[in-house]
A and B are shown apart, each in its own frame.
Chain A
């Protein structure tokens, strides 16, 4: 390529006048605008339109224009005990799920940190769940959870199909079923970030610690953990945001049921918007409440992250 250019004849000093010239600036605009237009249509416009809708009484299937009702949607939502119940369910789910992912992911990273024969292939295998589509994951875990022929009960020791629990149909177990799948799917992600954090810790710190007569636990607490903390926090931040938005897995596994046992807040938004009366206005309001909460939680994390970085 380079050679080819080098051999090209020198450009003539003055170009033919009839040749249309496109300046670099025009050219770059030509490339950027299609993307920008697409973004505006599918992202920016809905963002502001839904903000507008959240202050209206509007249903996408009713043949009526949006009716401005001010803060009524927000007022109703924030005073509804059901909604608060879904929020607390989502919070509990996020806390347990992310907590388990952090512990398991970090644990796996510690195990895979030292290279051994086949460690590359083991790491890749562990990462596979993360690469699957959540809908697919939901569907085949649904099969595995099936009390009659699913393999999950067999693996955890309930070998009699009659007495074995029906994970997805039991109000007390359904949430845990989703948590199990989410942990299975996303612990590898935490592991991946932790592994890169661990590999960045220089060996000499551990040599110095050995000389300083630090026990393995003391080394872990005073060197490994603080050194990995920034990346670990990033993993936790990503996973928390995702957990608050949990939707596809839940829809694939339980659809919010049984009853309302796994009605996460995103599922509730979906139900409001696309089931029954199609309350588009109220669903938009709820979506904005969730957005504000996620931004707030993320900010707390980012502040913590910065604090850890600066010490």
Chain B
């Protein structure tokens, strides 16, 4: 098992940063997800940890040992590729045995460990087939088996479910999570799917434009996004973000709405803005409390039934004003055009600096 430390690790292609200098410590047994839109540098980061990509500067430590310039084979890490990267000319059994045979393990030992891993992933019936004859899900199981059989210090997974269809992803997601719990192995997992990240990660590293935007638990990045990018990127739909003018404990929002700032936040806003200034209010759809009055008014633009709940699209400012999303229970019914009043849960509202787009901290 292993801890992985990145110290000021960066990657440049020419003059362009693929990854800006980043620090990250991944604890032993932790499941860390690198999350971001495509091209944000998450896969490059993973490949640098694996040694498949050379760093431009900075250091990578594995269990305290500097492996920055070590060959991938000297790092004792396993890598699961997005498109499986199975050896097409070898049988499933030979694919799984490959890392053991490459190390010159004895025949009996190889037999035993391949059998163990095959049993763990329930792929015993596939061992004599070629990868080309298998479904995507089975191919990914083989790739996982090949990674597991070596008992590496850490697992690196590059969008392992990206090539699978939706239903299979759910199943495989659960299998990988289960494997992690069983093996308790340090895992770094790259995905662009925030639902996957929320579901699997102990911690999430949100990246965008080669920069780490936030490192935190799923609850952290969801409830306390560090900046507007994270607020928008996490959640579907993302956080509602309304720009308003703050003055004396009240924020003037579109549609003539006046939002009284909760006390703990008021001190923070006053410290940042003084008496008055521009600020961005953020809240998740479930932070809106509809019905039973409230300080904010909006018109129902559309109401989507999502099964377990109803998602309301509310227009703050007449018919085509600024939209916010609010979650209501499925028992309630709303007519289009109906005027609703709602309030924001004081613990679930966030404030962002309008210039820097960085979240403000509460002052208690």
Which residues from chain A sit less than 8 Å from chain B, CB to CB? 204-205, 207-215, 218, 222-223, 226-227, 311
Contacts and interface: CB of A to CB of B under 8 A. Distances in A.
Most buried by B among A204, A208, A210, A311: A208
A213 B104 CA distance: 11
B75 to A, nearest CB: 9
Contacts of B130: 311
Nearest to A310: B130
Given A210-B52, A211-B79, A205 B73 contact: no
Contact of A204 (B73, B81, B98): B81
Interface in B81-100: 81, 83, 85-87, 89-91, 98-99
Nearest to B71: A210
B50 interface: yes
Contact of B150 (A210, A212, A215, A227): A212
A212 B78 CA distance: 7
Interface string B268-310: 0000000000000000000000000000000000000000000
Contacts of A218: 101-102
Contact of A211 (B72, B86, B87): B72
B71 A208 contact: no
A209 to B, nearest CB: 7
The winner among A209, A212, A214, A226 for most chain B CB atoms within 10 A is A212
A210 B87 contact: no
Nearest to A204: B85
B92 to A, nearest CB: 12
A213 B85 contact: no
B98 A214 contact: yes
A223 B50 CA distance: 21
A284 B103 CA distance: 58
A207 B52 contact: yes
Contacts of B87: 205, 208, 222-223
Nearest to B89: A226
A211 B73 contact: yes
Given A204-B85, A207-B52, A212-B98, 20 more contacts: A204-B83, A207-B79, A207-B81, A208-B81, A208-B85, A208-B87, A209-B102, A210-B71, A211-B50, A211-B73, A211-B78, A212-B102, A213-B72, A213-B103, A214-B73, A214-B102, A218-B102, A222-B90, A222-B98, A222-B102
B146 interface: yes
A218 B98 CA distance: 10
Contacts, number: 62
A210 B89 CA distance: 17
Contacts of B71: 210
23 contacts: A204-B83, A205-B85, A207-B81, A208-B81, A208-B85, A208-B86, A208-B87, A209-B102, A210-B51, A210-B73, A211-B50, A211-B77, A212-B146, A215-B73, A218-B101, A222-B90, A222-B98, A222-B102, A223-B87, A226-B89, A226-B90, A227-B89, A311-B89
A311 B102 CA distance: 21
B203 to A, nearest CB: 24
Contacts of B78: 211
Contacts of B73: 210-215
Name the 5 nearest CB pairs between A and B, nearest first.
Answer: A214-B102, A212-B99, A213-B73, A208-B85, A210-B72
A311 B73 CA distance: 28
A216 to B, nearest CB: 10
Given A222-B87, A223-B87, A213 B102 contact: yes
B103 to A, nearest CB: 6
Most chain A CB atoms below 10 A, which of B83, B103, B130:
B103
B105 to A, nearest CB: 11
A227 B90 CA distance: 10
B291 to A, nearest CB: 55
Contacts of A205: 85, 87
Contacts of B98: 209, 212, 214, 222
Contacts of B77: 211
A205 to B, nearest CB: 6
Nearest to B82: A204
Contacts of B86: 208
